[in-house]
Amino acid sequence: MALATARAATPRTVDLLRLATAGSVDDGKSTLIGRLLYDAKQVLEDQLAHIEEVSERRGDAQVNLALLTDGLRAEREQGITIDVAYRYFATARRRFVLADTPGHAEYTRNMVTGASTADLAIVLLDARHGIVEQSKRHAYIAALLGIPHVVLAVNKMDTVDFAEARFSELAREFEAFAKRLGVPDVTCFPISALHGDNVVERSARTPWYDGPALLEHLETVEIASSHNYEDARFPVQWVIRPRTGAVDERRRYAGQVAGGAWRVGDEVVVLPSGRRSRIAAIEAPGGPVDVAVPPLSVTIQLADELDVARGDLLAHPDAAPSAVHELEATVCWLGERPLRAGAGYAIKHTTRTARAVVEAVGERIDVHTLEPQPGTTELELNDIGHVRLRTSAPLMVDAYRRNRMTGSFILIDEATNDTVGAGMVVGEAARPARRRRFAAWPLLV
């Protein structure tokens, strides 16, 4: 009841669903997105005229809807998706942010970044080829990232005469694999993105299928459960100081609510200092509010003048996260050069930045068998494995499975400023912060 009250008291707009497409190359991801946009009447006339002209110039038999998302020249020339293409659209029921991610194995890292904030992942299969290596890899990454809803879209059903047996076979195989991954919600659709069957409207060519069209599912799937409403977490992104000469103004702390319900009058603890105060006021973009829940961006004013800076974390004292200098995590390696023990990187966790040393590289995960491969000494591009890190400053972390925002981080190569690793904290392995500094890795200024 308290949670329902908190949600009701928070300013609301039409729900926002973040989703990502994934799957092997040529499974039709870009065509599916183009079909969604086209049939949902989300394509502007000048955009449509442009892709019609490009399709005719290329000699395509019909309008190539994949061109709506394959925006890079190299993508159009090769007919593949290289970068993550983001599209924004809305229906009467919901707003959408859609990431069309690459299918080639060498661009798996782009899939990781595109799906990192998704509430739902669409994994496409070619009905003729079935589940291939990249299908499993992307399903594994979706599960690893904690995406609560996975949609299996068996595409190109027109190439197998819309055979119910073929769809059922692939659905059973994928559902069994997803169950091993621990995916909580899997929904399967027989579609033809090229012709629009079961994408926006139900198709008469699948009379044996009695489920909704894909868009209807996207409009109605419950997404509130993907947020943590229990553990109060507020990473401080910015300190807003009083204006010069203002008498009644006090410092406010801006950021995005990462967990829990925040109410005026609640006691809070500032980490890592451990100082306590109470919430004097909360202000959302639309004005003052009494309560704020994820993922609302707000400013919080405390009753006491404390030393609070960017990178600090506000939490409820009775359920504060651990402040750790050492942690274990699952890492998706995105860098061209391998990850090895002894290497140093910048680590970015919520709004806090520090330096990190790789103490050990554990096993690599085989995405086919889902079994760990012990004896691993390094992670190469697109590998997924376990590592142990030591940081120069305490990080306030939760297990990734408990809170996706406070349980995730990125590793940055300080020489190139490239993001080279995406990590997810293994909660039980985190160790309390020690009172020491590292000579080799001083604190960032």
d(Cα 56, Cα 52) in Å, to the nearest integer?
6
Asked whether the predicted pLDDT for residue 438 surpasses 80, the reply is no
d(CA 135, CA 116): 17
Question: What's the confidence (pLDDT) of residue 250?
Answer: 85
Same domain, 238 and 201: no
Q: Copy the structure tokens of residue 367.
A: 């995405």
Indicate whether 270 and 290 sit together in one domain.
yes
Instruction: Looking at the structure, tell me whether residues 130 and 114 fall in a common domain.
Output: yes
Burial (0-12, 13-18, 19+ Cβ within 10 Å), 429: middle
Which residue, of 291, 319, 347, is where some domain finishes? Answer: 319
249 and 302, same domain (yes or no): yes
Does residue 239 share a domain with residue 361? no
Q: Is residue 136 part of a domain?
A: yes
Q: Are 54 and 184 contained in the same domain?
A: yes
Nearest-angstrom CA–CA distance, 388 and 330: 9
> Are residues 143 and 27 part of one domain?
yes
Note whether 227 and 6 are within 8 A (CB): no
Is 417 exposed, middle or buried, given 0-12, 13-18 or 19+ CB atoms closer than 10 A? exposed
Per-residue model confidence as pLDDT tens digits over 340-387: 999 999 999 999 999 999 999 988 888 767 788 887 889 998 888 999
| Domain end marker among 272, 294, 319 | 319
Cβ-Cβ contacts under 8 Å for 416 (sequence gap 6 or more): none
- What is the tens place of the pLDDT at every residue in 74-123? 333 444 334 567 788 899 899 999 887 765 555 566 777 778 889 999 99
* Domain coverage including residue 249: 233-319
Residue 395: pLDDT band by 50, 70, 90 thresholds? very high
pTM equals 0.81
Residue 170 φ then ψ, to 5°: -70, -40
User: Residue 278 sits in a domain of what CATH number?
Assistant: 2.40.30.10
One-letter identity of residue 17: L
In whole angstroms, how large is the CA radius of gyration of the chain? 24
Q: What is the pLDDT of residue 82?
A: 40
Q: How do residues 246-259 score in pLDDT, each as one tens digit?
A: 666 789 999 999 99
For residues 214 and 278, membership in a common domain is answered with: no
Number of separate domains in the chain? 3
The string of pLDDT tens digits covering residues 133-191 is 888 888 988 898 889 899 999 999 999 999 999 999 999 999 999 999 999 899 999 99
Q: Are residues 175 and 92 in the same domain?
A: yes
The pLDDT assigned to 413 comes to 95
443 domain-assigned: no
For 36-48, what is each residue's pLDDT tens digit? 888 888 776 777 7
Which stretches does DSSP call E strand in 257-312? 262-263, 267-271, 275-284, 287-289, 291-292, 297-302
CATH number at residue 139: 3.40.50.300
- Name the one residue in this structure whose structure tokens are 């697109």: 382
Q: According to the model, what pLDDT value does residue 313 have? A: 98
Domain boundary among 254, 288, 319: 319
Query: Do residues 121 and 115 lie in contact, with contact meaning Cβ atoms separated by under 8 Å?
Result: yes
